[in-house]
Amino acid sequence: MILTVTLNTALDITYRVRSLRPHASHRVSDVAERPGGKGVNVARVLAALGHEVTVTGFAGGATGGVLRGQLAGTAGLTDALVEVAGPTRRTIAVVDERTGDTTQLNEPGPQIAPAEWAAFLRAYDQLLGDASAVALSGSLPPGVPVGAYAGLIRVARSAGVPVLLDTSGEPLRRGVAARPDLVKPNAGELAELTGSHEPLRATRDARRRGAHAVVASLGPEGLLAVTPEGHWRATPPAPLRGNPTGAGDAAVAGLLSGLVEHLPWPDRLTRAVALSAAAVLAPAAGEFDRAAYDELCGRIEVTGAAEAA
């Protein structure tokens, strides 16, 4: 079982409009409502790939109830979310059909009480007993300690469970120092962490700060990986227009599935980039275009080299 942690789950709402204009009224051509939050998106992609996955984190209020109701229909996915008093947040994505651009609005999330955080820690410790890998993804809701991910990484490492971290800001900085097996920042998060805007230098710097391996997401330019086994760059054949929300989460699912299947790094990166690109073509985060994924897997270019023995 793969465990995904989403401390700040969300009900993702995607609006599609013909053309998004500031200070104007818009007619929405389509509305999609999905369970969300980065780790939830990762879990849904993993389940679609055929993996057994368990989702934990927090859910509460009416929006939390809707989220859990929608998760219940996902084959291969187990809901182990911890109930909280505050309502689960909503995220709004507005897709401009003319340009393909997406505007994202993210609510902060519910206030987590100390007793609720303690209940989550107990659940997390128990779930690790059956986990082959764990992903810690997304922002922290109010009330959760800024060093939460660092603590969760240490617990996973003590249990012998490989852990992937995908977050930003201070939680990322503290989490990297706790020595996760893999960190997956995007270019902006990587620059904020290291102070460098040169991807290879910044990725190597992030690894020196404690991460066992670092895979940097470079948007339409693919992924850059620096690992103990070597360094590689994986790029899609061409940029794709669509909704990029959830593309990074699809890449995390590809990396995690490759980890538990013991694939070599070039194959993990190929899968992650193909999934990320196929997610751009899907209508909402947590989904991917299966036909596009199958086709893209044979067209990802991977360059780089393994370290000499």
- The DSSP bridge partners found for residue 226 are 214, 231
Catalytic residues: 249
End-to-end CA separation in angstroms for the chain: 32
The DSSP 8-state label assigned to residue 72 in this structure reads T
Map residue 257 onto helix, strand or coil.
helix
Residue 137 has which token pair?
């993804």
Show Cβ contacts of residue 273 under 8 Å, excluding neighbours closer than 6 positions.
222, 223, 234, 235, 236, 251, 254, 296, 300
| Secondary-structure percent of the chain, ordered helix, strand, coil, rounded to 5 | 40, 25, 35
Paired tokens of 293: 């994924």
Beta bridge pairs of residue 216: 224
Torsion angle (degrees, nearest 10) of CA 75, 76, 78, 79: -40
Evaluate whether 59 touches 23 at the Cβ level (below 8 Å): no
Q: How far is CA 118 from CA 57, 115, 144, 146, in A?
A: 12, 5, 10, 15
